[in-house]
Amino acid sequence: MEKLSRWNVAPRLQKRSLLIAEGSLRSTTPYLGTLAGALVEGTIGDRIGRVRSIFIGAIIEVIGTSLQCSAMNHSWMICARPVNGWATGILNAIVPVWATETAEHKSRGQFVAIEFTLNIVGVVIAYWLEYGCSFYGNGESSFIWRFPVAFQIPMLIGPATAILFFPESPRWLVKMGRENEARYILGRLRGDSLAEEKELAEAELQDIIESTQYERNNFRKQSYLHMLLGARSGKLHIGRRVQLVV
């Protein structure tokens, strides 16, 4: 009898282990996509620009979200999650760059702080939305998880549309040799009605040109490998290590 009960229990334990494994995969696969998206976005953002990168990231996020909320089985969901994570990595990497490159130096920290504050607000909304939906259909309807996932889509379509009407990063334009466009955008962003404002915008443009030229001359020191190893970086590598720890 004892032997028989052991045989009956084993399949249940196996099923439970399988469910735990599936849940773990669903939870971890987005982070793999996020890591990949963040690592490649630096190169992509330098090639196609900040605005296009944000637009593409938002569109990929919409696709990933659509795949998730329409998932019919575990395999479908597990494959869809990295797509969503990849887009999240793209946006997390490029949006702060675009914000700091277009903002005035006095307000760059404020811009980045607002962005990450809104990220936390989004997490809070997601948790409360999921909690509210958990009471629908006696806890058995797929609406409980499909609607919170799909709720991201309108929040993505808005920024994806709006970003096309925002200015490109002056720094990226200078990198591409489009200095006149960078000068025009800086003038519009910093003001061009007063002579003092024009002088400040021109001075900022010259700073960007000089720093961009320095980056071109030292491009070999900008790789991920050089950042991690810190060869001949001196005190700069100490700062990098602090950032990696954080």
| Residue 62 and residue 174 in one domain | no
Following CA atoms 4, 8, 9, 15 in sequence, which dihedral angle do they give, to the nearest 10 degrees?
A: 160
What is the model's pLDDT at position 66?
Answer: 93
| Residue 217 and residue 160 in one domain | no
The verdict on residue 5 lying in a domain is no
What is the model's pLDDT at position 197?
Answer: 74
What is the model's pLDDT at position 173?
Answer: 92
Query: CA angle at residue 33 from 27 to 36, to 5 degrees?
Result: 145
The verdict on residue 85 lying in a domain is yes
| Residue 48 and residue 133 in one domain | yes
Count of CB atoms within 10 A of residue 41's CB?
A: 22
What is the model's pLDDT at position 20?
Answer: 61
* Stated pTM of the model: 0.80
Of 151, 166, 181, which closes a domain? 166
| Residue 130 and residue 148 in one domain | yes
The verdict on residue 7 lying in a domain is no
Of 140, 166, 192, which closes a domain? 166
What is the domain extent for residue 181? 167-246
Total domain count, the chain:
2
Are 69 and 146 contacting, i.e. CB atoms less than 8 angstroms apart?
A: yes
Count of CB atoms within 10 A of residue 191's CB?
A: 13
| Residue 176 and residue 152 in one domain | no
What is the model's pLDDT at position 2?
Answer: 43
- The predicted-structure confidence for 130-179, as pLDDT tens digits, reads as follows 888 888 877 778 888 889 999 999 989 998 999 999 999 999 999 998 99
Gap between the Cα atoms of 164 and 167, Å rounded:
8
What is the model's pLDDT at position 244?
Answer: 64
What is the model's pLDDT at position 60?
Answer: 94
**Token pair 């996932």: residue:** 149
Nearest to 33 by CA among 71, 73, 67, 10: 67
What is the model's pLDDT at position 10?
Answer: 47
Stretches in the chain below the pLDDT threshold 70: 1-25, 192, 219-246
